[in-house]
Amino acid sequence: MKRRALGTAGLGLLALATGLGVASTGAHAKGLLIGFSQATLQSPFYVQLKTGAEAAAKASGDTLIVLDANGDVNKQNNDIQDLITRGVKVLIINPVNPDAVAPALSAASDAHIPVMTVDRAIHGDVATYVGRDNETMGRIVGETMAAHLKPFPGAKIIEIQGDAGGTVMAARRDGFNKAVQAAGFKVVLGPYAEYVRANAVTAMQDLLQSNPDVKAVYAHNDDMALGALQVLRENNRKDVLVAGVDGLSEAVKDIADGNQYVATASNDPIRLGQVTVETAQKVAAGQKVAPFIDAGTVLIDKQSVGKFDTSGLFAHSK
């Protein structure tokens, strides 16, 4: 049965109540053809998500076709139609926009191909959504930032955003903002930098000039946060704290070695890719799965950083 995508908090509660999935009589048959429409491969996170998914498919004897929408909603709809034409048995979508894939969902439904989403939810009927509770990620990072800023009541925080209209962006924004605003801090929303470091560098250069009194910067992923950190250091602003999300190893190492990058939230994309393909196999076999499958997250800060392995692109628990 298809299910309408829900808010992350509600989905998380339902997942806890139902578990990760209840097996039916369907069984995974090797040689499954799986289609994966990626929103973009410009972000290191999404490159690693692809790597994890490909490894899981290969290990199971399946074929995974990955197409990159490059942030273009029209290309994504065309890509999905291409995957349908190629005869995939299940579709994984990481949507550029939660509403814009409606034509593709309709085409998949007409072709009787089940659809699921990864990392970003969509506004439509899908079998399941595999991801993490992004609002919780934003909240735990925000609470840590608030604690660090306690000596500076009412301090200004610049926020560099992900993608306009994205569900991950909105959840990470809302979780963080609720935490820091409840503590009395002011948030200045910066531009959408599309989760790309180079874009964040450009944005931070302008934001720093117009907000010289800034005390902290939060970005919706570590790649953008590291771009902001680069600009701060180039301008000798070691007094400005930085935080991000995703557990990028480069950021985690900075947390361990210094005092400026204060927190991130773990979001291992390799594991997320593996869980996504395992779930796609169940969906294709007609098994029942929970409407939201949460891959989990934890805070990474100065106190917990020693518990993480940073040998890969993204940190994971030792």
Model confidence at 5, pLDDT cuts 50, 70, 90, reads very low
* 192 and 139 within one domain: yes
Asked whether the predicted pLDDT for residue 27 surpasses 90, the reply is no
What percentage of residues in the chain have a pLDDT greater than 70?
A: 91
The pLDDT score that the predictor gives to residue 187 is: 98
Give me the torsion for CA of 55, 56, 61, 64, rounded to 10°: -80
Q: Does 101 fall in a domain?
A: yes
* 279 and 213 within one domain: no
The pLDDT score that the predictor gives to residue 167 is: 86
Provide the whole-model pTM: 0.77
Q: Does 206 fall in a domain?
A: yes
Report the number of distinct structural domains present in the chain. 2
Q: Does 80 fall in a domain?
A: yes
| Helix intervals (H) in the chain | 8-18, 44-59, 73-85, 102-110, 134-148, 167-182, 197-210, 222-234, 249-257, 269-284
- 107: domain CATH number is 3.40.50.2300
Residue 158 CA to residue 243 CA, distance in Å, equals 11
Question: What pLDDT, in 10s, does the model give residues 210-266?
Answer: 999 999 999 999 999 999 999 999 999 999 999 999 999 999 999 999 999 999 999
The pLDDT score that the predictor gives to residue 29 is: 65
